[in-house]
Every structure is written in structure tokens, then in C-alpha cells.
Chain A
Amino acid sequence: MSKAAPVIKWMVKDGRLTAHNMRDFGDRFCEHIVAARMVQSYPILL
């Protein structure tokens, strides 16, 4: 399973249904990216 798999799973299953707005979705997406060890910290994504 790739590192991205849990992030994709979160996005399609929960993220799109529970995010309050685009900023909230973005914040939580970045947290999942970090949790999946795809990057060290999310500011570099911005």
C-alpha cells in the first residue's frame, strides 16, 4: 500500500463529508499528509 493510500481514503470517505470549508479541508488534508509521513511538516506544502 502506498503512503498516499490512507490520505486518499480519508479524502473520499470522510474529508469531503466532514470538512466545514476549503480551509478546514486543507488543514486536515495537510495533517493527514504529515501523519502518513509523506512530508515532515505541512508548511512546505503551501
Chain B
Amino acid sequence: MTNLIEPSATLQPLAPPSGGECQVFDWIENFGRYTEDIPSFVREVCNRFVGCDMPLDRVSIVMRTLHPQISTSGYMWRDGVDELSLFTADHQTQTRESYQRSPVRLIFEGSPGLRRRLADPDCPRDFPVLIDLDGEGVTDYLILPIPFSDGRSYACSWATKAPGGFTDAQIGRIQAVMPTFSLVLEILAARDISHNLMDTYLGHKTGERVLNGGIYRGVNETIEAALWISDLRGFTALSDKLAPPVLLGILNDHFERIVGAIEKYDGEVLKFIGDSVLAIFPIDQYGDAMGAAEAAVGAAREAVRRLEERNVERQEKNIPALGYGIALHMGEVVYGNIGAPNRLDFTVIGPAVNHTARIEQLCRTMSRPVLISATVAEATDQPVTSLGFHALRGVREPHEIFTLPEYA
């Protein structure tokens, strides 16, 4: 016998009757929102339910999120397994058959819930997941919406291997806990999303600073760092020649390779300015100037390797290679909020940033992919080759400029 759960009007009263059930309610109400993250919260709720004689064997949560690469996050708890399984889906997941044929889709589209009593041989196995669960010995499967205050609903499924499935009282207890359970999940999900957005738009470390309260103008500090400014050669000419989608594809590919190289060496990308990238390798993060310089030089080498890979592919298709320049310098910068009181940028400013930008401009005239200032050259153990002294626009004294031996 199958049973489609009716809308919330038919749910059991919220007030917990007594006993073990209270422990789940009380814990969620009093402590749930203080848990570190969604997996910890779900694990605690499930373990407490089991401790109150709820025969749970598998609980799965599926929620949409706001992330550039991930559309949906899932968490699966299994009885006796300490760690939850985490799974994610990309932004194409909704077009896939696995999603289309999943009960999760029904819940996301507004269904009030679904129950399949797999212990009953006549119960339809009308979703592929039910066939899998039947094979695992699951006797009852319930999937319910997790309503969020923005009007969207996500999904939580509850499964048991108990002979005969869940009792009516057990189903009532699960339904009764859902509003409070959903309330805490929404709080934890909102926290996750704010971190994702900060990571995406400000970078991980800078995002953490902003979330920890560094949100107003005047919050800044002077730091020493290796600085990175890079750009794509001939971007303006390309902009005139190529259709915007093609140009965007080139730019995104370029940034992906540059950012990947910087992040491989734990640098922090602060911003994209047109076709340029500004990044820092703070000295206190690496312990000393040598550590920061080594990281910046390593990242530059890695970026060149990745960009040249792309250029080989382009040349194989008879498309001209793309030029680029990377400048590395080291110095003191002001790191923090800069802007109008209500519209801020968390970035670095100072003469050292200007010097880096000037050195980067030399990459074109000197036809070198990587140029390094004397401060980085002195700090690194890597061999470097001097290219002589060069005037930098707006800087009084000529500066000795270096490159890596392979580009000399």
C-alpha cells in the first residue's frame, strides 16, 4: 500500500508528547543552531532519533546552494557510520535523467511528500532509487520537503530496514520534527552560502576577514607581501575583433589558468581588473620573505606552463597564441577596506602596487612573460637573470629588473 503524504494541514501537532522524542526536539531547539555545520547537525539529529528507538537506517538531505560550480549539495547519514557521505551536483544536474527520475525532483517542484512501503510487495518501485533501496533491504521510504523562508523547498528522505517499515507513530514523529529541523537547516545553509559568496567574490582569506567583522571603512592594516599583477596581451585588439561570447571564453580560460596557478601556491587573488589579475602572497602567511617570494615565483612558473599548454592547443588549430605578462614585486601595502562608506572594496593599495603595475607594463616592451623586481630576486633562492636597470613610469630611480633563466 502506498501513501502520498498530505499537505501540512494533516501533520501531527508539533508539541512533543513525552519521553525520548523530547530529547530530539529539545536538542534541536536549544543546541541545533550552534552546531558547526550541516553534516554535524544531521548526524546529531539522526543519532538522537536512533537513541530514542526510531529505526532509522538512512537519512538523506538534498538542498540547492549558491555556488559557482555547485547547484546542489547532499548529505547522507547511515546508521553505524560516523561520517556522513557528502555529494554535490553541478549546474547541469536538472537536465539529467538521474534527477528527472528522482523523488527529489518532485519535492523541489512542490510535492508535499512521498512514502513508499517497500515491505509491501505490491508497492510500486517507481523511482530507480527505490529499486536500489529495496536491494539494500529497506522496508519503508519517506521523503519530505524542507521548507525555506524564501519559498523554496528542499528534500529530506528517511528510510528504515525495520520489519514492516515505520509505524504510524514513527511517521508522525518524523513529520512533527520537520519544521524545527528545517529552521536550523536554513540557518546553517545561509551560513554556508555567505561563506561561498565571500570565497567566490573576495577570495577565501579576505572573505573570512569580512565575515569576521572587517566590514567598515577604516578596517585595514599594513602588511608585507609578494605582489602579483598579470594581464593578457592584445586584449583590446581582441575585443574589437571577436564576438563577445568568444572573447568571454578566452578571458575565462585565461583567468582559470592564472587563478589555478596562484591558488596552487596558496596565493590570494584579490581582484580582476579587465584582463588583469591582482594577487598577493603575504609574508606572514609563509613565515618569511623567502617563503612568499618562492611561492610567487613558483606560481608564475606554473601559470606560464598552464598558459603555454593553452597556446599549443591554439596553434594546433591555426589560431594565434595569446601573449601575457606576469610581474612580481615585494613590499609594504595597505590591506583592507577602501571606498565609500557604503560601497567598499577589500584590496591592497600603496606604492608597491604601483611599482608592480609598472613592471608588468615592461613585460610587453621587453617581450618577457615574467618579470621580477629586485626585492623578489633578493628574497628567492631560485636562480634569476638580470635584464639591467629600467625606468618605471612615475618612479624616480631606475630599477633592476630580473626574469627567470628560461625566459632570459
A residues sitting closer than 8 Å to B (CB atoms) are 1, 5, 8-9, 12-13, 16-17, 19
Contact = CB atoms under 8 A, between A and B. Distances in A.
Interface residues of B, number: 10
Contacts of A1: 15
Main secondary structure on B side of the interface with A: helix
B14 A16 contact: no
B71 interface: no
A16 B15 contact: no
B14 A17 contact: no
Contacts of B147: 17
Majority-rule SS of A interface residues:
helix
B149 interface: yes
A12 B15 contact: no
Contacts of B15: 1, 5, 9
Pick the most buried of A9, A16, A19: most chain B CB atoms within 10 A of its CB.
A16
Contacts of A12: 14, 179-180, 183
Nearest to B150: A17
Contact of A16 (B8, B29, B149): B149
6 contacts: A8-B29, A9-B15, A12-B179, A16-B149, A16-B186, A17-B149
A16 B149 CA distance: 6
Nearest to B14: A9
A16 B184 CA distance: 11
Nearest to B183: A12
Nearest to A10: B14
Interface in B334-364: none
Interface in B114-170: 147, 149
